[in-house]
Structure 1
Amino acid sequence: MRNDRTTGTGPDEVTLGRIETEVALLMRLGEATRRGTGTMEHRLLDRAAYVILRHLDSAGPQNVSALAAKLNLDGSTVTRQVSAMQRDGLIARTPDPADGRGTVISPTPAGLQRMAAVQAARTRLYGDILAAWSPDDRDSLAELLHRLNQALESRSRPR
């Protein structure tokens, strides 16, 4: 008899296949939902600007290198995104107190205001989507998504 792990049809592989499918659908449907939502708040920021502002709001001012490392992105990608955000008045650059040659990026009041509007709109949207779920189910989903994100983040860090 062959080991189920080598056939790819054991219970664990079936479950992992379901997880892979559901995560792929989650990403596709999440983006489609964001794009298809009719409210203006959802369109105040693109996804990259929202993620950068959320991180800066929680972690404080950072240089581009630290920001790129935290977001697992190439420094040149973050530099382009940050430049666009600066042109839009969403972030400000100030001299880095630890390295006078560099700069740190921090959100502006306008950037924080837009981020808060998008966050509130998304929270309302998920409240509507999950209205029929029990509070315990919502708590479980939040905890499991947090654990998944932690595992993904630790996997993406350089070894």
Structure 2
Amino acid sequence: MPTSSDMTTPTDPAVLDALQHQVAVFARRAEQSRLGGVGQARNSMDRAAYLLLNRLDQEGPMGVKALAAGMGIDSSTVTRQVAPLVESGLVNRATHPEDGRAVVLQLSERGRTRLGEVRASRRALMEMVTDEWTEEERAVFCTLLTRFNISLAAITATMPPAGAAS
């Protein structure tokens, strides 16, 4: 069975130009709308909070370092982003069950409810945006966008930080 690298063909520069342009347009539109959903929950949760709560919901309680590593960001950034979530009762700090000195973060019941509301709002927006698409088109787009994000994360993980001397 051929691998994906066996099937790679030279890419037309015009296609790459169109792709980078469409990604830039998407990034601008996503930032303008914040892809915050529709209805009462629209734009009620920033991207960082949504991603942190979503990870805790999907993977369960974890420490700051594990959360940061899983998200590909610095521990100090996670600490800063989690603080208001703890203050607002969306995330609880708990003692690690195996190491009483360590702290784990976990989604509170209030956080789980709030995340559900925001997910439903964002799901409604995705339904509106793709209203004229078939289920197969939605699935293919999701698969390709996931693949794109995984590839982009892998490449950016090997790049020096922005502004670093080359």
Distance 1:68 1:42, change over 3 A: same
Alignment partners' CA distance in 1, 2:34 and 2:17? 26
- Alignment match, 1:61: 61
- Alignment match, 1:76: 76
Between the two proteins, what is the percent identity of the paired residues?
A: 35
- Alignment match, 2:6: none
Q: Is the 8 A contact 2:91 2:108 kept in 1?
A: yes
Aligned length: 150
Q: Which amino acid aligns with 1:74?
A: D
Instruction: Name the SS of the counterpart of 2:92 in structure 1.
Output: strand
Q: Which range moved further: 29-38 or 124-133?
A: 29-38
Q: Report deviation, 1:153.
A: 2.9
Q: How does 1:101-112 map to 2 (within 5 A)?
A: 101-112=101-112
Q: Report deviation, 1:52.
A: 0.4
Q: How does 1:124-139 map to 2 (within 5 A)?
A: 124-139=124-139
Alignment partners' CA distance in 2, 1:137 and 1:92? 39
- Alignment match, 2:149: 149
- Alignment match, 2:51: 51
Consecutive unaligned residues in structure 2, runs of 5 or more: 1-9, 160-166
Using the size of structure 1 for normalisation, the TM-score is 0.84
Aligned-pair RMSD on alpha carbons?
2.2
Instruction: Name the SS of the counterpart of 1:92 in structure 2.
Output: strand
Distance 1:36 1:59, change over 3 A: closer
- Alignment match, 2:3: none
Q: Is the 8 A contact 1:93 1:106 kept in 2?
A: yes
Using the size of structure 2 for normalisation, the TM-score is 0.81
Q: Which amino acid aligns with 1:47?
A: R
Q: Which amino acid aligns with 1:118?
A: V
Deviations 1:18-56 (A, max 9, x none): 221111211211222237866221233211111001111
- Alignment match, 1:6: none
